[in-house]
A = this chain, B = another copy of it.
């Protein structure tokens, strides 16, 4: 076998500064090249049967992927209103969904009656003609940014390039008799190095430094951005900002080769459980793995499965493994060496990229430019390293997470968000087949840790503790509602309630000491922050709900929280709030959150100048006890601020413990009456009661709209 001299596929283009005719022409070219290259990949299948048998059980057969990338164009161009009719509704329902393991039900064969390959090919021709017609004829208004309807065309192209790579992996996983080497898809030249000839890997120092990632706000005009990569297509997860100071570390000069990995295999790495994480062990047992998935042992001789052929093991090529195997190798290596060996973080990969002074044009085994396979781990030197990009993807230990300022793209809001689950790890650098956006520094792809791509790894040695990133979107409906209630949008022009209540409390405490405040029943904490910002030296937020406290604490600790709001039925929209945007960054260190029971407060919670109990009393199991004891927590002259809509419900408060809202001795006895009676011993009323409205969003169209009564009381 020998290298076929292939036309390298373009990286995702910079569309800025082009006149309209040139833009239409280049876009047509980029589309055609990716659309055709994708179709040519399927020439590796030896027969129509090969389209219908699944390479792996957790994925559709390849016929799906053949139709899918075309349907994707139709769906996104419809959403973007660049077209208004479907081409083939039946195909487009069938080929719409199926890329990740989000919903295994979709893989039920009984639900599919796949069309003939020729039909799909004809369908692809129709789609191709449609897309080209759009590129030729649709009205054009630049720039070609995130909010431009034409972004949908780029999205379709880049989506197809992702599938170019993932389908090449599926073909590599297909039974050998279903595939056939093709002139355009030949592997790179094999080296004849024996295992012993492979140069030993070494650790290289990487100086500490700052890493900056993120393309900033997605709606800015990318053509004015100094970051050249921001001028090219980006997926939603690339936007926002991330800055990190990276301590110095050591990184392996080369990717781990098949030879280096073999030492782990032969040392019993696949049978010694202590090298494996719990999740990794689960995968290893399920898969009955004893060596890398593309390794084949035949009569004591090792072979490697490539896309369409098995070849004698190229020991100097990078090993291809999933994240569990890569992590197990590192643990073994750490045990062997006594060093803190591990996978790099995403940030560390960027630090490597920066110190090696890489750019989009640096030669590397990528973009199908040097054969359709890996090459030797020493073929492409990048600074002190090899293969900072290209050859195979490099697993990191970082689960993908959104940068601050992340927004889901409205045309594809489930591209990234479902992967923000701590279960999808980032891979960096791209492989020999990575084209378009995949070949950019900015790109961020993540897969489940048991997943196979053309992916291997480099290891690092670093002492610094790893900082977990926030990837979670709170989608507990109640928590999301409260996050929105406290930090989100105002509805019906009703001012933010917890902020307004804190403001009133601050006005009442004007001229009094402002040392310590207690926000009892703080929920997700907005009033606590506002009281600290307004001047209290220390604010304790306490809530009975650990879930609420956890969200408040996350916001305080990480500076942001994200949540998913219900719009309609199962449709959601995604929100992010940050201390920065709220203006609470400065005061956050004066706030602390505690889980606690208002009817049985810790003794340390005392000596307060202000106690705010907003919408609390009608949710307590013993509100009388709370009111009778709260005086002890306040200094003399301290202020108690209560708000409540007096919504008594037996699910929260046993009927016999309601404060009011019933007839007592024959007369109407309101909660307001009861407050005066219960608080008279310790408090004097301050001012007159106020009505303070609040709105809690349940869906895009349904809200709770409530009017709390606010009363203030001075401790005798």
Residues of A participating in the B interface, judged by any CB pair closer than 8 Å: 75, 79, 92-93, 96-97, 413-414, 492, 567-571, 645-648, 658, 660-668, 670-671, 695, 698-699, 701-709
Contacts and interface: CB of A to CB of B under 8 A. Distances in A.
B703 A571 contact: no
Contact of A703 (B664, B671, B698, B704): B704
Contact of A702 (B567, B670, B706): B706
A695 B75 CA distance: 38
Contacts of A571: 661-663, 668, 670
A24 B451 CA distance: 94
Given A570-B663, A647-B699, A702-B707, 13 more contacts: A75-B667, A96-B667, A97-B665, A97-B666, A492-B492, A492-B705, A568-B646, A568-B660, A568-B661, A569-B646, A571-B668, A647-B702, A703-B706
Contacts of A704: 702-705
A75 B665 contact: yes
A79 B667 contact: yes
B665 A93 contact: yes
Contact of A705 (B567, B662, B663, B695): B695
Nearest to A99: B666
A414 B666 CA distance: 9
Contacts of A97: 663, 665-666
Contacts of A92: 665
A413 B667 CA distance: 9
Contacts of A707: 701-702
Given A701-B645, A702-B647, A665 B492 contact: no
Contacts of A701: 645-647, 706-709
Contact of A570 (B413, B662, B702): B662
Contacts of A664: 93
Nearest to A699: B647
11 contacts: A75-B665, A97-B663, A570-B661, A570-B662, A645-B699, A646-B701, A647-B699, A701-B707, A702-B706, A703-B705, A704-B705
A-B pairs, top 9 by smallest CB distance, nearest first, are: A569-B661, A96-B665, A705-B705, A645-B701, A568-B661, A96-B666, A569-B648, A97-B666, A570-B662
A703 B93 CA distance: 41
A658 B79 contact: no
A702 B661 contact: no
Nearest to A566: B661
A122 to B, nearest CB: 20
Contacts of A570: 661-663
A668 B569 CA distance: 11
Contacts of A670: 568, 571
Contacts of A665: 75, 92-93, 96-97
A530 to B, nearest CB: 23
A413 B645 CA distance: 23
Contacts of A79: 667
A231 to B, nearest CB: 28
Most buried by B among A92, A569, A698: A569
A699 B706 CA distance: 9
Nearest to A618: B569
Nearest to A668: B571
Contact of A662 (B93, B569, B661, B698): B569
Query: Which of A665, A671, A705, A707 has the most CB atoms of chain B within a 10 A radius of its CB?
Result: A705
A660 B569 contact: yes
A702 B693 CA distance: 10
Contacts of A695: 705
Contacts of A96: 665-667
A226 B702 CA distance: 52
A408 to B, nearest CB: 11
Contacts of A671: 568-569
Contacts of A705: 492, 695, 703-705
Contacts of A648: 568-569
A704 B492 CA distance: 12
Contacts of A668: 413, 571
A706 B662 CA distance: 29
A614 to B, nearest CB: 14
A697 to B, nearest CB: 10
A414 B709 CA distance: 26
Nearest to A706: B702
A148 to B, nearest CB: 19
A118 B662 CA distance: 32
Which of A568, A645, A695, A706 has the most chain B CB within a 10 Å cutoff? A568
A702 B645 contact: yes
Nearest to A702: B706
A707 B698 CA distance: 12
